[in-house]
A and B are shown apart, each in its own frame.
Chain A
């Protein structure tokens, strides 16, 4: 079998009450980059867990043939021994150990049970060179950025003589540069004969590097596309993922923009870690009633820091500058007071900072505005349940009931709970930080619709996103931020992806990107 390194045939995997995979087929040719795409919950991770032995042989039905040999993996180590390495989204590195120690973790370079540190670091250095990471092998992993950690993971995989490398959303939290580097590395590895499976929501990069693309939907294989056939583009893939033509990825809205609702002037924020470092520099911006304003920029441009420093000084030290709400100066000293002033902020990281995952939907929705369903600190639980029910049906939160735990919901539905929570505080100004990150195409559309509805009600929305197409798709006006500064402003009509990127790049040339 020269052709296929991996054949997964009629894989079916059941969870209690759910058919996660039904009759899925996946064939990966030797030496190719094979992309696996699909909406969240389509079964991509489940399929890879079957491949990696996370779900042991016997808990699923179907055949798994690797290098022409039928395999029945019981543990992750069984699959790794065959040369299959899966790099998960949550990296499996030990933060306080060095790069070298991490690379050879559980595979230590040793003689007679004693670790040979010289060999460890010598071998690790060779691997780092291979993946193009210019760092010492004695550096602690916690001191590296996510992009570099990703490379350490790949180096670790290479140390195990990997034949099939699986990357689950490797670029989800990387900036453009790091993503480029990583994708380049995949192509290098391909030239060296390593086959890879790439799971990604970023269809642009999929089209760029993949040789073939398998689309999963609702736990079933829809089709496998060959990029060599030429006419594969993002829209073609999306059609397969959602099962229909997305005529419009963004819902329409007729903007009715009113007077200025919120304004900041000369906003400065210093880093809490090194109080001499300015993170936000003389930022000024205005939001008008009924307006959706985008805040574009690269990772690390200071957008989240700006937003969080506005939101009751949740980030930064030595915050200075003035803020105005409806023309009157406001103090935004604590989160509570900021919410009460009508300014709310939905964080970019819903799992670690947005939701109480062990709490139910109802508790999560009302927590920031409990005063509205309580009298003298006693909660009216009937009224509270009614509020939650209303949001559940209005925002179409797919769940068994308002008593379902937030942690059991899919990403898109979790995000809707977060939005409900902040809409319930009845803000005039709502700051949304990457509200569509990691959620599927269908749910994204619903989130955009909710944002449009808020704008129609006369609220102002500040929309932070790293995906330029969606910023262009839904915003009336766009600010561009780089290195802590607002470096450009575009009305909707004049904004293009190229224009915004050019604006960022020009600023990078002039000031650098967060280097000082």
Chain B
């Protein structure tokens, strides 16, 4: 029992932000007269913020290694868009081959920046600031300052497509595929959790007490049900939603359940101690940035597809959105603390604020101001509450 109490205490920040998110959503739901949580708006919220989710995942890994950030992601997003446009539109190459190619370019960008940061030990801030300038420059150079478009239908589908409703067909009121997927996901979750709990009890490992366990299941199933209902009431499951969902699941697993994931936390917590425990910290740092390059490419494809154009101005300030999402979601500015789910919550907080204020007709000047204050207050709350605890 002691360990469950300690676990709650260690993650209190994340739960706090989750509760804050619920309150922010309730507030805007009331203030907008119910528009915020209309199914169409919920779907749009996901589509609009897809790039933040993807970038925040990669940024979390970088921040975990020791508060290192990547300022270049916005420019890399634009560069990848420009490359996609050049390949697909200008050179008329196949969509599949082009995607594979730009993902590879993302990887190479990651290797390039990762080398300077991890092996040459140039501060990440400087390397990626340089990257921010150079990749923006390359983008404008490649597009000659012009926007090119449109992309072929299949490329557009990545960000604006929906999984076709195979069960219900076109006319039904709800998208049955989305409902079925939700039900399957919920069932899978309940089953795997129950099996794990049984296994733990049989083998004498610590497990959640029954009421807490039931509450956890009910809450998760409730969220899945709500989400699938929302999606089903509009046009079904967006393609990009599956991409994001897969990434969140995969990277949550990586950070919480695997050896490399643990190395990220160990390095951010105390790099010297990590080295003396046999961890090749240079390699960990390198891989975090290689990964960031890859995910920037994924975000770049998503953004180009959504804009339906390759623009030299794409991706501006994206790095700041991603970094803010991580910090709002509880990541520590000195590394070693933070989770993927936290970053997603942080991104949602920002997304809901944006969206809610837009519906209310509040100008982007005020929006920026509010987001800035939220970032400052969230982190200040964190820092001050930690100091209190001491």
Contacts and interface: CB of A to CB of B under 8 A. Distances in A.
Interface of A: 311-312, 314, 334-336, 338-339, 345, 347, 352-360, 363, 367-368, 370-371, 374, 377-379, 381-382, 385-386, 400-405, 421
B276 interface: yes
B205 A368 contact: no
Contacts, number: 99
Contacts of A403: 2-3, 6-7, 10
B262 A379 contact: yes
B172 interface: no
Interface string B250-285: 000000011110100110011011111111100000
Nearest to A382: B205
B277 A357 contact: no
B200 to A, nearest CB: 6
Contact of B274 (A356, A360, A371, A402): A356
B200 A382 contact: yes
Nearest to A15: B390
Given A352-B270, A404-B6, 6 more contacts: A358-B337, A370-B262, A377-B258, A381-B257, A382-B199, A385-B3
Contacts of A386: 205
Contact of A379 (B5, B203, B259): B259
B3 A367 contact: no
A495 B275 CA distance: 36
Contacts of B273: 347, 352-356
A352 B266 contact: no
A50 B35 CA distance: 57
A385 B262 contact: no
Nearest to A354: B273
Contacts of B266: 356, 359, 363, 367
A360 B274 CA distance: 14
Contacts of B265: 356, 359, 363
B336 to A, nearest CB: 5
Given A379-B258, A403-B6, A367 B277 contact: yes
B186 to A, nearest CB: 23
A400 B276 contact: no
Interface residues of B, number: 32
At the interface, is chain B mostly helix, strand, loop or mixed?
helix
Q: Which among B2, B200, B270 has the greatest number of chain A C-beta atoms within 10 A?
A: B270
Nearest to B260: A377
Nearest to B1: A401
Contacts of B260: 377
B269 A357 contact: yes
A370 B269 CA distance: 16
Contacts of B279: 335-336, 367
Nearest to A404: B6
A401 B8 CA distance: 12
Interface in B274-312: 274-280
B2 to A, nearest CB: 3
Given A354-B273, A363-B266, A386-B205, A339 B278 contact: yes
A421 B277 contact: yes
B153 interface: no
Contact of B276 (A345, A370, A378, A404): A345
A385 B206 contact: yes
Nearest to A384: B262
B239 to A, nearest CB: 29
Interface in B178-214: 199-200, 203, 205-206
B205 A385 contact: yes
Nearest to A403: B6
Contacts of B270: 352-353, 355-357
B27 to A, nearest CB: 32
Contacts of A385: 3, 205-206
A345 B273 CA distance: 11
B123 to A, nearest CB: 19
30 contacts: A311-B276, A335-B275, A336-B280, A352-B272, A353-B273, A354-B273, A356-B269, A356-B336, A357-B269, A358-B269, A358-B336, A359-B266, A359-B269, A359-B336, A363-B262, A363-B265, A367-B262, A367-B266, A368-B277, A370-B259, A377-B260, A378-B257, A379-B258, A382-B203, A385-B206, A401-B3, A401-B6, A403-B2, A404-B6, A405-B10
B2 A400 contact: yes
Contacts of B277: 335, 367-368, 421
Nearest to B267: A356
Contacts of B5: 400-401
A377 B255 CA distance: 11
Q: Which among B203, B262, B332 has the greatest number of chain A C-beta atoms within 10 A?
A: B262
Contacts of B269: 356-359
Nearest to A381: B257
B262 A360 contact: no
B205 A374 contact: no
A346 to B, nearest CB: 9
A335 to B, nearest CB: 4
A282 B277 CA distance: 27
A312 B205 contact: no
B6 to A, nearest CB: 3
A484 to B, nearest CB: 22
B275 A314 contact: yes
A339 B276 CA distance: 10
Contacts of A402: 3
Q: Which among B5, B259, B274 has the greatest number of chain A C-beta atoms within 10 A?
A: B259
A401 B2 contact: yes
Contacts of B7: 403
B278 A336 contact: yes
A373 to B, nearest CB: 9
Contacts of A347: 273, 276
Contacts of A345: 276
B192 to A, nearest CB: 14
A513 B260 CA distance: 44
A353 B199 CA distance: 37
B374 to A, nearest CB: 24
A134 B330 CA distance: 50
A382 B207 CA distance: 9
Contacts of B203: 382
Q: Which among B199, B266, B280 has the greatest number of chain A C-beta atoms within 10 A?
A: B266
B193 to A, nearest CB: 14
Contacts of B272: 352-353
Interface in B188-246: 199-200, 203, 205-206
> Closest 9 A-B residue pairs measured CB to CB?
A356-B269, A401-B2, A403-B6, A401-B3, A336-B278, A368-B277, A382-B205, A335-B278, A353-B272
B278 A368 contact: yes
